[in-house]
Amino acid sequence: LSMFDPETEDMSPEANLRKAIRLTAQTATLVTAFDRIRNGKDPVAPRADLSHAANFAYMLNGTLPNETMTKALDIALILHADHELNASTFGGRVTAATLSDIYSAVTSAVGALKGPLHGGANEAVMRMLKEIGEPARVDAYVHDLFTQKKKISGFGHRVYHTEDPRATHLRRMSKELCERAGQSKWYEMSARIEEIMKSEKKLNANVDFYSATTYHVIGMPIDLFTPFFAVSRMSGWTAHILEQYSNNRLIRPRAEYIGPAPDLKWLPVNQR
């Protein structure tokens, strides 16, 4: 995108704001066009009369979304837009602090998001639900994972030690969408897994857990869950980058060696 932007090297606040707005719009267009092209379909151009959320659904599916789908995507976009100094946002700010351009800073953020400890948890949740298949199999499946000491994605958070407030909204949205789509089993399985995790592991669902079923029932392919996260977080990333530019100081953490003392033999300088 930077190669096609005549303002790439213009670091004025006005130009950077324009680039941030364009990036927010372009990311949604890129993600949906990628999915359609790989499925042998022509990309769908965005419409100026649709909202950001409605345009994403329209460009992805080629048909106008209903009110429920638009609302679900709008809520998801808002809830994922920003979350203080998470790994990808911090990476973007570190790059921006060197006064590199906004495209380079966003590239750093995307690279951090690619890591499975940051992005991708909701993909793992949906694959797990598909593997379980039916609500009656939940208990045995989850307890088998406990026995194997395997992690269940979508639970726990580095910041929230009680319920993730974003999960509260997505739980309600997941239930409504699954019931409307006649696919209530996805919500039922999720709710039972959450119940077991809270009672036996004292872990709460995070934002990724119920976003999985929410995205699935509106027709989003599993491998687009993380790219959609980037569509949402682009507004947050660019806001942080603009803030960094506005009051910049190079981000340069110090490092102190605290390992074992090296056992090295050496000669004093006057004996060499």
- Identify the CATH class of 121-217: mainly alpha
pLDDT of 97 reads 98
The phi, psi pair for 42, rounded to 5°, reads -80, 145
Question: How would you write 215-235 as a 3-class SS string?
Answer: HHHCCCCHHHHHHHHHHHHHH
Task: List CB contacts of 101: < 8 A, sequence separation 6 or more.
Answer: 2, 8, 9, 11
pLDDT of 167 reads 87
pLDDT of 263 reads 84
pLDDT of 121 reads 87
Q: How many angstroms separate the CA atoms of 54 and 56, rounded?
A: 5
The 10s digit of each residue's pLDDT in 42-57 is: 999 999 999 999 999 9
pLDDT of 208 reads 87
pLDDT of 162 reads 75
Residue tagged active-site, from 35, 208, 216, 240: 208
Domain positions in the chain are 7-66+79-116+232-246, 121-217
The phi, psi pair for 191, rounded to 5°, reads -65, -40
As a residue count, the chain comes to 272
Poorest-confidence range of 106-115, 116-125, 141-150?
116-125
Has 216 been annotated as catalytic?
no
Is the per-residue pLDDT at 95 higher than 80?
yes
- Residue 129 and residue 212 in contact, taking contact as beta carbons nearer than 8 Å: yes
The 10s digit of each residue's pLDDT in 164-192 is: 888 899 999 999 999 999 999 999 999 99
Q: How many angstroms separate the CA atoms of 189 and 174, rounded?
A: 12
Which fold is adopted by the domain 7-66+79-116+232-246?
A: Citrate Synthase; domain 1 (1.10.580)
pLDDT of 202 reads 93
pLDDT of 142 reads 97
Has 157 been annotated as catalytic?
yes
The 10s digit of each residue's pLDDT in 126-159 is: 999 999 999 999 999 999 999 999 999 989 877 7
pLDDT of 79 reads 92
pLDDT of 207 reads 86
Q: How confident is the model at residue 32 (pLDDT cuts 50, 70, 90)?
A: very high
Q: Flag whether the pTM goes above 0.75.
A: yes
Residue tagged active-site, from 5, 80, 101, 157: 157
Is the per-residue pLDDT at 265 higher than 90?
no
- Mean pLDDT taken over the chain: 94
Poorest-confidence range of 110-114, 195-199, 244-248, 267-271?
267-271
The 10s digit of each residue's pLDDT in 205-230 is: 988 899 999 999 988 999 999 999 99
Helix crossing, 165-180 with 184-196: angle to 10°? 150
